[in-house]
Amino acid sequence: MNLHNSIIDTAQKTIENEYQAIKNLTQLIDNEFAEAIDFIYNSKGRVIVTGVGKSALIANKIVATLNSTGTPAIFMHAADAIHGDLGIIQKDDVVICISKSGNTPEIKVLIPLLKNGCNKLIAMTSDKDSFLGKQADYVLHAHVEKEACPHNLAPTTSTTAQLVMGDALAICLLELRNFSSDDFAKYHPGGALGKKLYLRVKDIAAGNLKPTVNPDTSVKKVIVEISEKLLGVTAVVLDEKIVGIVTDGDIRRMLNKHDNIGNLTAKDIMTENPKSVIGDTLAVDALEIMENNGISQLLVEDEGVYTGVIHLHDLIKEGII
């Protein structure tokens, strides 16, 4: 076996090992898991997630996922907790402690300190019979047979299982809270993801010029309007109502069809009943309309009044595509 084949084989075995471990987790989701989720959902406090080593890194990610999906959460490093950070925990908080073995020295020191309070303790561990498992009020059983590491030492499969169990926990809470896409947008206002959830057509159209002609406008002036407004299109408007659209494509087709364009007007070459959207339409929904109809622009209106144009290039610039 050459070097590249050996690398590919190792990678495939790693993925297969972790895939099987995740698949087995479905058999470990039981009533105790449901009771733990129900308790968190009905609690008045936050979720404090703790761990050491690689489990602490997973705890950080779970905290981030919980916070972004409507469940207030805080990370507390288990080692720091026994040196003053226990003050993070308030009386109504729920503590989730993550440890593959459930028997690490830091965990054995931390658990009795946690039990001195009245906070419920949820364990996420591979071993339900560990010190952590036996002391916890609820156990999220993230069991794995072996690590992907050939020496069964480096946390690999176990941290993947913890991550997936944390995602399952977060999504269950999300559904219990009826956490909507609008709620999600409030927590993710930045970047392309946030824009897909909150950016509306009117926000984009407001930054564009507003190409407008009336039905009797000469073709020459139509061409000038399209060129000056830089959107490859103009709306044909009568009494503020959209009656048609003229695009670059319409101009090209007209030039192929007519040798003399001196007497032509907008109404002679426009497309009637063009696609349009209201200003409150989400930009991502406008993109879907464009894709489904094979067009690059949409006219925008509110209460039947023409207000502007949105172009495919606008969506690209905003990161919607």
Q: Are residues 149 and 10 in the same domain?
A: yes
Q: What is the CA radius of gyration of the chain?
A: 30
Q: Are residues 81 and 160 in the same domain?
A: yes
Q: What's the pLDDT at 191?
A: 60
pLDDT in tens, 140-188: 999 999 999 999 989 999 999 999 999 999 999 999 999 887 777 666 6
What domain count does the chain have?
A: 2
Q: Are residues 279 and 214 in the same domain?
A: yes
Of the given ranges (54-63, 83-92, 193-202), which has the lowest mean pLDDT?
Answer: 193-202
- The gap from C-alpha 157 to its chain's centroid, in whole angstroms, comes to 25
CA–CA distance, 138 with 224 (Å, rounded to integer): 72
Q: Is residue 223 part of a domain?
A: yes
Contact by Cβ (8 Å): 165, 124: yes
Q: Are residues 38 and 170 in the same domain?
A: yes
Residue 301 is encoded by which pair of tokens? 């209106």
What range defines the domain where residue 300 resides?
201-317
Contact by Cβ (8 Å): 220, 229: no
Give 259's Cβ-side CA count (13 Å radius).
Answer: 0
Contact by Cβ (8 Å): 110, 81: yes
- Is the alpha carbon torsion for 19, 21, 22, 26 positive or negative? positive
Mean pLDDT of 98-125: 93
Domain boundary residue, one of 118, 144, 179? 179
How high does pLDDT run on average in the chain? 92
Task: Grade residue 319 by pLDDT with cuts at 50, 70 and 90.
Answer: confident
Cβ neighbors of 170 (< 8 A, separation 6 or more) are: 62, 65, 66, 69, 71
For the chain, the residue count is 321
* Residue reference for tokens 């084989």: 9
- Whether residue 77 is annotated as binding a ligand: the answer is yes
pTM: 0.68
CA–CA distance, 308 with 94 (Å, rounded to integer): 51
